[in-house]
Structure 1
Amino acid sequence: MGSRLVDQLGPQTVAGATASALAGHIRALILDGRLTVGERLPSERSLALELHRSRSTITRVYGLLERDGYVSRLHGGSTRVTLPHPIASSPFEDDESAIDLSIASMDSTPGLYDATVRSLPRLATLRGTSGYSLRGLPELREAVARRFTERGAPTTADDIIITSGALNALNLVLATIGRRGGRALVEQPTFPHALEAIHRHGYRMAPTPVDVDGWDTRHLSDTLLSARPHIAYLIPDFHNPTGATLPDSERSRLAAAARSSGTHLIIDETTTDLDIDRGWNPTPMAAFDPRVITLGSMSKIAWGGMRIGWIRAEPSLIPRLLAVRPSFELGTALLEQCIAVELMSDMAALTTHVRERLRRGRAAVEAGLATAIPGVRMPPTPGGLSAWIDLGAPISTALSLAARERRLILPPGPRFTTGGVLERRLRIPISFPPERMAEAMSRLSRAWADVNDGASARGRVLEHAAVI
């Protein structure tokens, strides 16, 4: 089995590249977050064998990286990923002129302030308690359960645990049922931080393709039945980043295949309520099999700053999750739970606001692309947070780096994959206000011209290209 570095580089990158070009590609992987600080890289000899290159070439590659501060090497020992000292977590963190399209999210719903005010009496009644909420407020668990039931998956409050966001929920599930060294089926592309969490829990990835027109359902079922992965992490509603939705008929087949393979289905519903004009409402995966583990969140429909998520699971798993949770968290903030109760009491108003905001954002992206990148069209995007763009050529990373020179943070397609592929693709959020997106598209247009003119100052850009 090849090293993770070579998997991330991808065959197109490796073929015929000079030492300087290889070093540049590895720097991009480090700054893009696909190689993590402290990660051990292959030895010179091993990497030379994998890439079918001379050892002197690889020595030169590692030497260039070490010179610029991207690796540290011990004589006769290991080579590990580092970052140059001047780099901060985000080079544009305090720069209001920068536009960060790596975060596909909206600002808060207009009803957040009023919901906060209405929540205060509920919070006041809890002052006599310990303040720790391991399972979650009963009123909020009932509201979440009611939402599942309305959508076609009968649920009670006993099936729900409230968490501090969906990613927190995923980590709790993995900490509870995880099997280090096991296989995890994941979509390609998918949510990058979920990939990082699954990798951190020791899983080996088994990717299955998904695009704007949906899943290769035969590949998905065949992979479940042949690889028999321990878990499968999937986003069937307005998939991030493609925006695709899995039809009910395929959900039923997927649930049946997972039962046959003994796979734990972990379904991420963070984007479920982000409908613009899809025209139909899918049935939750939990309705097809009670053993499905579902993750949800308020962050995309209310505000990312309100860290409220949940887990829906079968009753036998709930005590196990609650037993593990205190090892890294003692509950979810009570004020945010009280606010969430108020917000969920009027989901119709919440989803109406989200729909209109996304509709305007989608129109702005479509209009901007028409002038920013001639010949590149926006695919059908009936909902979700982003448009998954086909650039027509494997230049996503180059365009991303050129965009940073224009103070536009735009993660490339490979950031959403397990192996450095999908260089033709680019995720553009549809969640930004039209005026902000118009400026982003203007900067993207200039970056596109830079790439096509060969004018991108790659060395200078790479020194300030940490993706968040």
Structure 2
Amino acid sequence: MGSRLVDQLGAQHVAGATAAALAERIRALILDGRLTVGERLPSERALALELRRSRSTTTRVYGLLETDGYVTRLHGGSTRVALPNVAPSASSGDDESAIDLSIASMDSTPGLYDATVRSLPRLAAMRGTSGYSLQGLPELRHAVAQRFTRRGVDTDADEIIITSGALNAVNLILAAMGRRGERALVEQPTFPHALEALHRHGYRLVPTPVDADGWDHRHFTDTLLRSRPHVAYLIPDFHNPTGATLPEPERARIATTARSSGTRLIVDETTTELDIDRGSSPLPMAAFSPEVITVGSMSKIAWGGMRVGWIRADRAVITRLLATRPSFELGTALLEQCIAVELLSDMPSLTDHVRTRLRAGRAAVAEGLIGLEGITMPPTPGGLSAWVDLGAPISTSLSLAARSHGLVLPPGPRFTTGGVLERRLRIPITLPPERTAEAMNRLRLAWDEVRHGSPQRGELRHEAVV
């Protein structure tokens, strides 16, 4: 089995690369968080054998990285990932003028302030209680359950747990039901922090491909039956980052196959409400199997600062989750739950705001990409972003170049296992049009540099990607 370093590099992408280019690629992996600080790298000899390069080349690679502070080496010992202790430069994208495209999220809904004011009497009425809310406020659980019922899945408030966001929900599920060393089926690409959560809980990841035109359904079901993973994490509506939607017949087929393989489906519906002009609303995955565990949140439809999410599952699973939750938290903030009750009472206003903003953001990205020869933007009927095709495996290089122009732009491999999808780039459609226009101007400058062979040396940091 090859090393994780070469797996992340992608041997096919570095064939024939100079020592300086190899060092730059490894540096990008470190700064983007795909290699972690303290991680042990293969020896010079082992790396040379894996890459089929000379020992002098790999010695030079590690020497360049050590000089810049990105690895530490012990004579006769190991080489480990490090970060240089330097102050950020003005060109690194950390100044206030930088545009951060690692965050695909809108500002708050216009109704947030009024909902907060309306929620205060509800909060005041609870002052005589302990203030802890392990399962969540009954009113909020009822509102979430009603939302599922209206979408075609009969749901009771007892089948809902309120969490501190969707990622918190995923971590609670894995803490209660995870099995270290087991396999987890994940889409390729997918939400990076879900991959990190699965890694942290000891899962071995098995990818299945997704693109803007959808899933490879045969690969998905064949992998379920062949690998029999313990869990599968998927985003069936406006998939992050591709924007694809899983058709209803395939939802039924996957749910049936997952039951046959003994796989628990963890379905992330964080992006479900982000419709622009899809034209249809498939039934939730939970409609096709009682064993599906669904997570969702308020962060994309109301505001990222609303740390309120939920889990929908059968009562037996809810009991297990409630038994585990006190080990790391005692509930979700009451004020935010009270606000969420008010917001969910007027879903049409929320979804109208989302649709208007996303339509404008999509148009601004499409306009900004005009004239960038080689880049293709796929149809984007909803979701957070456009999953653009760069026409060549240059995503990491483009991200590095963008840094020198004050543009934080996570490369395609940030959303994958194994450092693949260098042809792809996620561009959020969530910023105001004028901000998007400026971001596209900066992208154009970086694109010209990379295409003409003179990219600037930038700082590709390990940003949170949402």
Place the TM-score, normalised by the shorter chain, in its bin: over 0.9
**For 1:7-406, what aligned pairs fall within 5 Å after superposition?**
7-86=7-86, 95-371=95-371, 373-406=372-405
- 1:375 CA displacement: 4.4
Tell me the secondary structure at the aligned position of residue 296 of structure 1: strand
2:95 and 2:249 mapped to 1: Cα distance?
48
- 1:324 CA displacement: 1.4
Asked if the contact 1:401–1:465 (Cα under 8 Å) also holds between the matched residues in 2, the reply is: no
Q: Match for residue 436 of structure 1? A: 435
- 1:374 CA displacement: 2.7
> Which structure 2 segments of 5+ residues have no match?
none
Q: 1:178 to 1:77 in 2, by over 3 A?
A: farther
Q: 1:359 to 1:142 in 2, by over 3 A?
A: same
One-letter code of the match for 1:340? Answer: A
- 1:96 CA displacement: 2.4
User: Is 1:418 paired with 2:426?
Assistant: no
2:87 and 2:260 mapped to 1: Cα distance?
48
2:268 and 2:184 mapped to 1: Cα distance?
15
Q: 1:88 to 1:264 in 2, by over 3 A?
A: farther
Asked if the contact 2:264–2:291 (Cα under 8 Å) also holds between the matched residues in 1, the reply is: yes
- 1:466 CA displacement: 4.2
> Which structure 1 segments of 5+ residues have no match?
none
1:162 and 1:90 mapped to 2: Cα distance?
42
Q: Map Cα deviations across residues 80-128 of structure 1 (whole Å, 9 max, x no partner).
A: 2111112569986862211001100000000000000000000001111
Asked if the contact 1:160–1:310 (Cα under 8 Å) also holds between the matched residues in 2, the reply is: yes
User: Is 1:450 paired with 2:446?
Assistant: no
The two structures have a TM-score, normalised by structure 1, of 0.96
- 1:13 CA displacement: 2.4
Asked if the contact 1:72–1:79 (Cα under 8 Å) also holds between the matched residues in 2, the reply is: yes
Tell me the secondary structure at the aligned position of residue 316 of structure 1: helix
1:86 and 1:172 mapped to 2: Cα distance?
37
Tell me the secondary structure at the aligned position of residue 373 of structure 2: coil
Q: 1:234 to 1:63 in 2, by over 3 A?
A: same
- 1:15 CA displacement: 1.1
Asked if the contact 1:399–1:448 (Cα under 8 Å) also holds between the matched residues in 2, the reply is: yes
Q: Map Cα deviations across residues 416-436 of structure 1 (whole Å, 9 max, x no partner).
A: 110111111111001111101
Q: Map Cα deviations across residues 30-84 of structure 1 (whole Å, 9 max, x no partner).
A: 1111112222222333322222223332222222212111112233333221111
1:394 and 1:204 mapped to 2: Cα distance?
26
One-letter code of the match for 2:392? Answer: A
1:266 and 1:63 mapped to 2: Cα distance?
44
Q: 1:91 to 1:4 in 2, by over 3 A?
A: farther
Q: Map Cα deviations across residues 304-328 of structure 1 (whole Å, 9 max, x no partner).
A: 0110111111111112111111221
The two structures have a TM-score, normalised by structure 2, of 0.97
2:181 and 2:30 mapped to 1: Cα distance?
24
1:271 and 1:90 mapped to 2: Cα distance?
35
1:381 and 1:208 mapped to 2: Cα distance?
21
Asked if the contact 1:400–1:409 (Cα under 8 Å) also holds between the matched residues in 2, the reply is: yes
2:40 and 2:118 mapped to 1: Cα distance?
51
Q: 1:54 to 1:84 in 2, by over 3 A?
A: same
Tell me the secondary structure at the aligned position of residue 368 of structure 1: helix
Asked if the contact 1:90–1:467 (Cα under 8 Å) also holds between the matched residues in 2, the reply is: no
Taking every aligned residue pair, what percent have the same amino acid on both sides? 77
Asked if the contact 1:145–1:155 (Cα under 8 Å) also holds between the matched residues in 2, the reply is: yes
Q: 1:94 to 1:76 in 2, by over 3 A?
A: closer
Q: 1:89 to 1:447 in 2, by over 3 A?
A: closer
Asked if the contact 2:44–2:55 (Cα under 8 Å) also holds between the matched residues in 1, the reply is: yes
One-letter code of the match for 2:135? Answer: R
Tell me the secondary structure at the aligned position of residue 176 of structure 2: helix
